[in-house]
Amino acid sequence: MASITLNRKRILIAVLCLIAVLYWITVVFSDLRQLGFIRVQSFNAEVDEKTPAFVAPRPIGEGTANATLLFLARNSDLGGVLSSMGHLEEHFNKRAGYPWVFLNEEEFTEEFKTRVTAATAAPVSFGLIPHEHWFQPDWVDEDRASEGRRKMASQGIIYAGSVPYRNMCRFNSGFFFHHPLLQPYRYYWRVEPDIKYFCDVTYDPFDYLRDNNKIYGFTISFYEWEKTIPTLWETVKKFIAEHPQYVSDENAMNYLSDNGGERYNLCHFWSNFEIADMDFWRGEAYQAFFKYLDDTGGFYYERWGDAPVHSIAVSLFAPKDRLHFFRDIGYRHEPFQHCPNGEDWARGKCACNSFDTLDYAPQSCIRRYEKLFLQ
């Protein structure tokens, strides 16, 4: 009887010790975050401080930005579209009132239009994508393209065999900003089905970009699957050699490459979230770049994504301080998320766990981005 009591006591002590240790780990870990061993919210402030003529964020509602919320979708995406709209309306747009633009290569159904229009108080427009901006061009060698799809599918790569997916990537790379419905606007915020926003957006991100002369905002950054872009970097290097005038002296090559441009390290900004300036895509450098890439047929022979294409362009053809990490915007697109921490987390009343964020995970490229500004 006595020995059983003793054992119980020992177990109780062991459990209490374990709890104490776990508590200690949590406290030390959060201390490290405060001390900056793990970079927290102060980073943007540090960068902003170094930015001449920095303009602080403006409250929502004063927003005068020339901007729209942009949604490429299929009719079959309706459920995920409404879910995403709910998130962005709730956390931002019910206060900001920016118009929505929906694009599709097929006509949207009446049901789609009715349900989407009812999901916001802001103006909504629905556009049809011109045939030549979407479908595989005739000059693409279909035998070579189908062989490429077959080979990629045998390697188990996602969307390897899909032509529509390639149409989408090419459209998002080179054409969306030419659509008539987007001509009135300079800035866009890209939205996809089934994404989530965790925090209240407490200022106007479009104004922030404009006021501070930024062209591209992101929340998540990681590595591309190399097998989808085997010859992309070679093509980029050829383009740069032929058009050195487009490469900015203050570029972010060190984000893209660990050896000065010799090899692509596969880092890119995840383009399902973008708050960016279409005038950069419409500009001379990017137009020449996209045409050069497109002429190789790589969007179809391989499976070049709009994320690496956009990321490479903004990293090379603009000064690095034109990029912006929206550290304070909590966002999820399966299977990754960015959750703010510290003051950003509190201010935005974020419904996510600060520890559950891709930022400093091994798959993330955020450290390389930060290093651009710490040198």
Ligand X SMILES: *[C@@H]1O[C@H](CO)[C@@H](O)[C@H](O)[C@H]1NC(C)=O
The contact set with ligand X (CB under 6 A) reads 66, 184-186, 279
Indicate which of ligand GTP, ligand X, Mg ion, none lies near residue 370 (CB less than 5 to 8 Å, by partner kind). none
Residue 225 as a binder of ligand GTP (CB under 6 A): the answer is no
Using DSSP bridges, classify how beta strands 67-72 and 100-104 pair: parallel, antiparallel or unpaired.
parallel
User: d(Cα 318, Cα 357) in Å, to the nearest integer?
Assistant: 28
Report if residue 72 touches ligand GTP, rule: CB under 6 A: yes
Calpha distance 213→292 (Å, rounded): 27
- How far apart are CB 42 and Mg ion at their closest, in Å? 32
| Residue 48, SS3 per DSSP | helix
Strand partners, 105: none
In which region does residue 260 sit, left (phi positive, over 0), alpha (psi from -120 to 50) or beta (all else)?
Answer: left
Cβ contact 243:288 at 8 Å:
yes
Question: Residue from 97, 153, 192, 282 that binds ligand GTP (CB under 6 A)?
Answer: 192
- Establish if 105 lies at the interface with ligand GTP (CB under 6 A): yes
Answer with the entry of Mg ion, ligand GTP, ligand X, none that 105 interacts with (C-beta below 5 to 8 A by kind): ligand GTP
Exactly one of 47, 60, 73, 96 binds ligand GTP (CB under 6 A); that residue is 73
Query: What's the min distance (Å) between Cβ of 83 and ligand X?
Result: 30
Quick one: which of 123, 164, 180, 319 contacts ligand GTP (CB under 6 A)? 164
252 belongs to the binding site for ligand GTP (CB under 6 A): no
Q: How far is the CB of 195 from ligand X (least distance, A)?
A: 25
Give the active site residue among 62, 226, 242, 274: 274
Q: Which is nearer to ligand X, 60 or 65 (CB)?
A: 65
Judged by beta carbon, residue 100 or residue 239, the one nearer ligand GTP is 100
Separation CA 179–CA 172 (nearest Å): 11
DSSP states of 186-248 as a string? SEEEEE-TT-EE-S---S-HHHHHHHTT--EEES-EEE--GGG-TTHHHHHHHHHHH-GGGS-
The answer to whether 274 is a known catalytic residue is yes
Smallest gap from Cβ 211 to ligand X, in A, equals 15
Per DSSP bridges, beta strands 221-223 and 323-325 are: unpaired
In whole angstroms, what is the distance from residue 313 CA to residue 107 CA? 31
Binding region for ligand GTP (CB under 6 A): 72-74, 77, 104-105, 164, 168, 192-193, 272
Active site positions, annotated: 274
